[in-house]
Amino acid sequence: MSAESLALAWEAFRFLRPGWLAALPLIALLWALARRARGRPRAPAAKIAPHLHAALSLDAARRRRPQPIDGVALALVFCALGAAGPAWTRAEDPFAAQAAPAVMVLKVAPSMLATDLSPSRLERARQKLRDFLDLRAGGRTALVAYAGSAHVVIPMTEDAGLIAPYLAALTPETMPREGDVAAAALRLARDLLAAEGAQGTGGVLLVADAVDLAQAREARAALEGSGASLAVLAPLPEGAADPGLDALGAPVIRVTPDGSDLRRIDGLLNAAWERARLGDERLPWEDRGRWLAWPAALLTLLWFRRGWTMRWAAAALLAAALTLPSAPRAQEGTRDLRAAAPTEPPGIFALGGPLAAWFLAPDQQGDLAARRKRWDQAARLYADPYRRAYAQYRDGDYKAAVATLSTLDTAQAAFLQGLASIRSQAYRDGVRAFETALARDPAYPDAAENLAQARRIVAWVEQAQEDQDAGDQPDLGADDVTYDNEENRGQEMQVPREAETGSAPLTAEQWMRTVDTRPADFLRQRFALEAAGAGSGATGGGTSE
């Protein structure tokens, strides 16, 4: 965890049930009284002089040693703190990204070809950006390149494999003109984040060896008030500096041989996103009190030692432990649709194994598998039908997710069922599911927008059927992808896989995948057309949706 995340966690720390903190003074009073009674010196025998009794007595040494009441009091303190519900993070929203959207802005100018940083400044920058993509693990990321003009290379995508070949193809030869328009590049990054709905939670990573001072002041003004977090990665050798980078008013991190530079940048860019999640009142706080049960349980092991047994304390500790938050259970009245067990039984120490079942509830085991992105395993482990359906959705088993969600009667379940239906190309079912979500909760977030989009998809598919009947479209050829058409508009048709998008027209990401030319040649031609169309100081908007 970065220093920024630690500071944010400390700022957000709270107790969900603070009334249990009132037990702490009572525990302290109990401990003090018991300690005092147990440590009271014994009265000297009548036939022994007081000074000899003091010299021969072990009371003073015994009072300094740990006593059973010390362990009991500490265990009770842990139980009271756990029952109070310490929390410093919000529970994860299954429909929200798990990392802040980010835009990588790379300077592609002749100065970046300098070899004072092996193998070159540009190659080291590309290596770091590839590592940055791996570190983000599926977070939505875009790539912008600039020199004398700025261009969107790849719009927002979760697929790092789509960015990699175009990142490798960026050289000064692909840029239409030399120069430094860092401000225009950062404005493009700002607009990409705004289109994501990430105002105040997105990050911009500028990778450049130098920035013109006038451009730096203009860029700083462009980002001011946008809410975007800016971090600068400087591929410069030790001792080199640039006043323009410092004038941006953002943290400037030097390239390091290890990953410490990227970890710090990732923490900086995610800080605003984490702060926004903490302020989202729709998300519940994540109760961390259960972890305090472990030290309390370890302290009870001392009671097996001779002289440490305190039966009354065991009863008090058990009563306090029962107040700790229980593990989430399956909803009442729902049918357990647990997926079939794997062909081989899990190991004794693995999730789903006998040992894990002793200590963790099924949903807790599913949470651990989900945090490791093992969605198929999480789907087998979850007992809660909604969580299981979400794991099936993330694993790509959309039909199983729809079947699981059909047993639930909440707006949240209907919304996810709609998304799964759209993903499985059952667009009519998606429309019905979104309509159900709105019927159950008219104010459910994004349900109305998704319903409208699903209806547009259905209308486009059916219009394509009619156009095909009228001969307005060329012969598309056959494939194995067939869309629904419940209104029987037009004749039966099949859409080629090249046009399989789930909506129309093709998105920027899907269009980029269809490029058959070399990435370097494609980028050179596209950048030249964008720069020529926009004129002097042009900025390319990339491929439109």
**What is the predicted pLDDT for the residue at 481?**
43
Cα–Cα–Cα angle for 537, 212, 183, rounded to 5 degrees: 45
Strand partners, 145: 106, 151
Q: Which residues contact 253 (CB under 8 A, 6 or more apart)?
A: 231, 232, 233, 234, 261, 264, 265
Task: Check residues 147 and 90 and name the one with the higher pLDDT.
Answer: 147
pLDDT tens for 312-333 read 555 555 555 555 444 443 333 3
Q: Pull the structure tokens for residue 538.
A: 């042009």
Q: Pull the structure tokens for residue 262.
A: 């990227």
Enter the DSSP assignment of 113. Answer: G
**What is the predicted pLDDT for the residue at 130?**
92
**What is the predicted pLDDT for the residue at 449?**
85
pLDDT band at 307 (very low <50, low <70, confident <90, very high): low
pLDDT band at 516 (very low <50, low <70, confident <90, very high): low
Written as one string, the DSSP assignment of 238-287 is: TT---HHHHTT-S-EEE--SSSHHHHHHHHHHHHHHHHHHHT-TTSPB--
pLDDT tens for 218-268 read 998 888 877 778 889 999 888 788 898 989 988 899 998 888 888 888 877
Look at residue 403 and tell me whether its pLDDT is greater than 60. Answer: yes
29-43, 237-251, 404-418, 473-487: the lowest-pLDDT one:
473-487
Q: Which residues contact 495 (CB under 8 A, 6 or more apart)?
A: 464, 476, 479, 481, 482, 483
Q: Are 16 and 285 in contact (CB under 8 A)?
A: yes
Question: Taking all residues of the chain, what is their mean pLDDT, rounded to a whole number?
Answer: 76
Look at residue 416 and tell me whether its pLDDT is greater than 60. Answer: yes
Q: What share of the chain is helix, strand, coil (3-state, %, to 5)?
A: 50, 10, 40
**What is the predicted pLDDT for the residue at 517?**
60
H or E, element range at 125: helix 121-136
**What is the predicted pLDDT for the residue at 498?**
42
**What is the predicted pLDDT for the residue at 234?**
92
- Polymer length in residues for the chain: 545
436-440, 456-460, 487-491: the lowest-pLDDT one:
487-491
Q: Which residues contact 507 (CB under 8 A, 6 or more apart)?
A: 501, 545
Task: Check residues 524 and 62 and name the one with the higher pLDDT.
Answer: 524
pLDDT band at 344 (very low <50, low <70, confident <90, very high): very low
Look at residue 379 and tell me whether its pLDDT is greater than 70. Answer: yes
**What is the predicted pLDDT for the residue at 61?**
53
Q: Are 116 and 239 in contact (CB under 8 A)?
A: no
Q: Are 273 and 201 in contact (CB under 8 A)?
A: yes
Look at residue 105 and tell me whether its pLDDT is greater than 90. Answer: yes
Closest CA to 249 of 207, 221, 208: 221
Quote the radius of gyration of the chain (alpha carbons, Å). 31
**What is the predicted pLDDT for the residue at 160?**
82
pLDDT tens for 106-150 read 999 999 999 988 899 999 999 999 999 888 876 789 999 999 999
Task: Check residues 494 and 461 and name the one with the higher pLDDT.
Answer: 461
**What is the predicted pLDDT for the residue at 104?**
94
pLDDT tens for 177-195 read 999 999 999 999 999 988 8
Alpha carbon of residue 500 to chain centroid:
29
Q: Are 491 and 137 in contact (CB under 8 A)?
A: no
State the pTM of this model: 0.54
Question: What is the share, in percent, of the chain residues with pLDDT greater than 70?
Answer: 68
pLDDT band at 34 (very low <50, low <70, confident <90, very high): confident
pLDDT tens for 277-292 read 777 677 788 888 888 8
Query: Residue 152 phi/psi, 5° resolution?
Result: -80, 110
Q: Stretch 153-182: mean pLDDT, rounded?
A: 90
Q: Write down the residue that tokens 């790092």 correspond to.
A: 160
Q: Stretch 11-31: mean pLDDT, rounded?
A: 90
Greatest mean pLDDT among 279-288, 415-424, 482-491: 415-424
**What is the predicted pLDDT for the residue at 308?**
53
196-210, 399-413, 427-441, 505-519: the lowest-pLDDT one:
505-519
Closest CA to 410 of 382, 445, 386: 386
**What is the predicted pLDDT for the residue at 226?**
75
Question: Quick count: other Cβ atoms within 10 Å of Cβ 177?
Answer: 14
Cα separation, 196 vs 212, whole angstroms: 29
Three-state helix/strand/coil letters over 502-542: CCCCCCHHHHHHCCCCCHHHHHHHHHHHHHHHHCCCCEECC
Written as one string, the DSSP assignment of 428-447 is: HHHHHHHHHHHHH-TT-TTH
**What is the predicted pLDDT for the residue at 86?**
92
| Domains parsed from the chain with CATH numbers | 3-89+286-321 (no CATH), 102-278 (3.40.50.410)
CA separation, residue 72 to residues 20, 79, 207, 291 (Å): 17, 11, 56, 18
Strand partners, 154: 143
**What is the predicted pLDDT for the residue at 122?**
94
pLDDT tens for 460-481 read 877 777 766 565 544 444 444 4
Look at residue 58 and tell me whether its pLDDT is greater than 50. Answer: yes
